[in-house]
Chain A
Amino acid sequence: MSAKEKSAARPPVHERLRRLLFLVPYVSRHPGITVDALARELSISREELLEELDLLTMVGRPPFQPDDYIDIYVENERVYVDLDQRLSAPPRLTASEAAALAAAAELLRPAAGGALESALHKLEKVIPPQARARFKEMQQKIDAGVVAPYELQPLVGAIAQRREVEFDYFSSNRGVSEPRSVRPLELFSHRGQWYLSAFDNARGDERLFRVDRLQNLTVTDRTFPPAQARSARVPNPAAHGDVRVRFSKVVAPYVRERFGDDARPAPDGAVDVLVSGESERWLAQWVLSFGGEAWVLEPESARRSVERAAQASLESKA
């Protein structure tokens, strides 16, 4: 889809007006804000901002006498507006703005607890009365209800205050729970799972933790200096692998969708993917999760370990 088609969905005039009606009150609330800071706040480039400021100097009200224009100007890289009573505050939230915000807020439910409910309640009150029905209607049209573990909220707080946390972590690679003491750096949701990126004190390195696998979380009083998180990524199992897994024709389209070119064509509509065999346990459980539509071709040792895992499940006692 081209950028042109995208803009066809909503005329640029709409976007510009919205921005300008925010810009004037914002500058009057933050007189002397730098051009760069203002551009950042509006998520536009410096050049775009200067163009907007140019346009604003031409805005006025009939009969367009000198005093009838918005007096906004840049002086030594700083932006000022002569107090403009008309545009002292931005317009209220539109129905679409409120609906998009409410939908995004769902990402943190139920971790956000009461704060989310009360925030949405207050939000609804500042939507213009005539837009409320439409807000309700639009709220029904979007649902970003990601499963959010309860630990999310204390972790967000610990990251913000740079406080170390402790928890018991269940590592599915090893199948055991162990106590950890970490400096929490960043939270992110990947394929619907929440991960914590943190500096592990005992291991002296940054590690990834699945938030739904940690228990008995305590936020300690120990603070730590600001650190730049490396924007951790969940490893792609097909990134560097030596274990060849074959996927039947039935699941091949989904595997191709997930792994792209790393899924190589094999006979009978099947595909092969080379994955990491670093964790035997992970490999066996991953192959098992395809319920017989995936199997290891090589190496022999990996085949044996999947076979053993399946046998172990069959023999597990009730």
Chain B
Amino acid sequence: MNRTERLLDLVALLLDAREPITWAELREHFPDDYGKGSDEAAERKFERDKAELLELGIPIRWVVGDDEKRDGYVVDRESYYLPEVGLTPEELAVLYTAGSAALASGAFPGAQDLAHALRKIGFFAGREVATPKVRMELGPVNVDSAQVAATLEVLWAAAASRKYVELTYFSPRSAETTRRRVDPYGLALRRGVWSLVGYCHLRKGVRTFHVHRMRDVTANAARPRSPDFEVPQDFRLQDYVATFPWQHRFHAPIEVTLELRGELAALAPRFFADQPTAPTGDGQGTQVTVRATFLEGLLRYALSLGPGCRVVAPADAAARWRELLTKVRDLHSDAERGAA
């Protein structure tokens, strides 16, 4: 009997049972699987099957009997069956929209888990849940999403079971490729890019790795059910990944004031993610105060908004902004080209 069939038979048997199933009965019911060989080997085989069922969410446990009941294995029906989740159409739509957009991106950690979850929450909803026209694309442009998807699955499984991974990593900053061992703490998606945050054994510290820069990722396959590491209590994933161009975790935050004028004035909260704004002194523009941990990133972002956006304080930030502008201007002036 193949394993899938045996496990299904086990589920059917246990869900149907009126009383606990004893080990002797299991051996008798599955003679080819648990009945042959030593007791110890058969028990090990059953333990592996039981672990698989537990992972599938099947609440199988051993009960110690009393005068009324005998010892044996049971599946608690109450906690096995999915009850009506009772989601409103609006709640269902949110989960469906987000879930199918994530699946449509072609790479999402636990994509199979996600697909099953969507099926399950739709089980009682019937078939009228329409596929929403929302999707997600990964960046940067040249990402091979099949490769990212495969890597994410390995990382997700390793993070879930706390097994270390080994990977080859290309760092654009140093233009070097290194082989590293990493304890995967978690995965984060920012601006279309998936990152792994974890303890790097090569650098002896917590580091962030872009998933698309990894090659040959393998999880430690030894003793799959015993974790290799603990995630520190105070670890927070969001502390290690930047959401906006003005964030970076290595610097102390500074408050930078910018002014937006003309058409940009009304859009200030949009451009700066709801950082505090106020009208400028003359009432013609909007002043926005950004708490930046990465000044250079903020300045470049400000430059990309054009002449309607200027950096006004603190003085050294404003000076650096002018310096960058001057550099770009000079790179494009005739004098500079003559020199080149």
The chain A residues found within 8 Å of chain B, CB to CB, are 1, 3, 5-6, 8-11, 13-18, 20-22, 25-26, 29-30, 41-43, 55-56, 58-63, 70, 86-101, 103-108, 112, 115-116, 118-119, 122-123, 126, 128-131, 138, 140-147, 149, 156, 159-160, 170, 172, 175-177, 185-193, 212-213, 215, 229, 234, 236, 253-254, 257-260, 281, 284-292, 295-296, 303-304, 306-307, 309-316, 318
Residue of A with least CB distance to B140: A258
How far is B329's CA from A309's CA once the two chains are assembled, in angstroms? Answer: 8
Q: Would A108 and B332 count as touching, CB distance under 8 A?
A: no
- Chain A residues near B216 (CB-CB < 8 A): 1
Taking A108-B97, A175-B263, A177-B263 as known contacts, 17 extra A-B pairs with beta carbons closer than 8 A to each other, sorted by chain A number, are A9-B158, A10-B157, A17-B52, A22-B116, A89-B123, A108-B98, A118-B91, A126-B85, A147-B243, A156-B93, A159-B133, A160-B132, A160-B133, A215-B267, A257-B212, A285-B306, A312-B306
Closest chain A residue, CB of each to CB of B320: A291
Q: Mark B262-290, 1 if CB is under 8 A from A, else 0.
A: 11001100100100000000000000000
Give which listed residue, A18, A90, A96, A144, contacts B123 with CB less than 8 A: A90
| Contact A191-B13, Cβ < 8 Å, known A17-B7, A22-B116, A160-B130 | no
B291-311 interface with A by 8 A CB criterion = 296, 299-301, 303-308, 310
Q: How many residues of B contact A (CB 8 A)?
A: 135
Which one, B5, B212, B324, contacts A58 given CB within 8 A?
B5
Q: A259 near B141 (CB under 8 angstroms)?
A: yes
With a cutoff of 8 Å between Cβ atoms, the chain A residues found around residue B109 in the complex are 100, 103, 142
The dominant DSSP class at the B interface is helix
Complex: A85 Cα to B303 Cα, angstroms: 66
User: Known contacts A140-B237, A145-B238: does B55 contact A94 (CB below 8 Å)?
Assistant: yes
**Alpha-carbon distance A287/B324, docked complex (angstroms):** 12
**Main SS of chain A's interface residues?**
helix
The residue in B28, B98, B157, B267 that gathers the most chain A C-beta atoms within 10 A of its C-beta is B98
| Chain B residues in 8 Å Cβ range of A88 | 81
Please give the residue numbers on chain B whose beta carbons come within 8 Å of chain A beta carbons, in ascending order: 3-5, 7-9, 11-13, 15-16, 28-30, 52, 55-59, 79-83, 85-88, 90-95, 97-99, 101-103, 108-121, 123, 127, 130, 132-137, 139-142, 147, 150-151, 153-154, 156-160, 172-173, 175, 185-193, 212-213, 216-219, 221, 231, 235-238, 241, 243, 259, 261-263, 266-267, 270, 273, 296, 299-301, 303-308, 310, 312, 322, 324-329, 331-333, 337
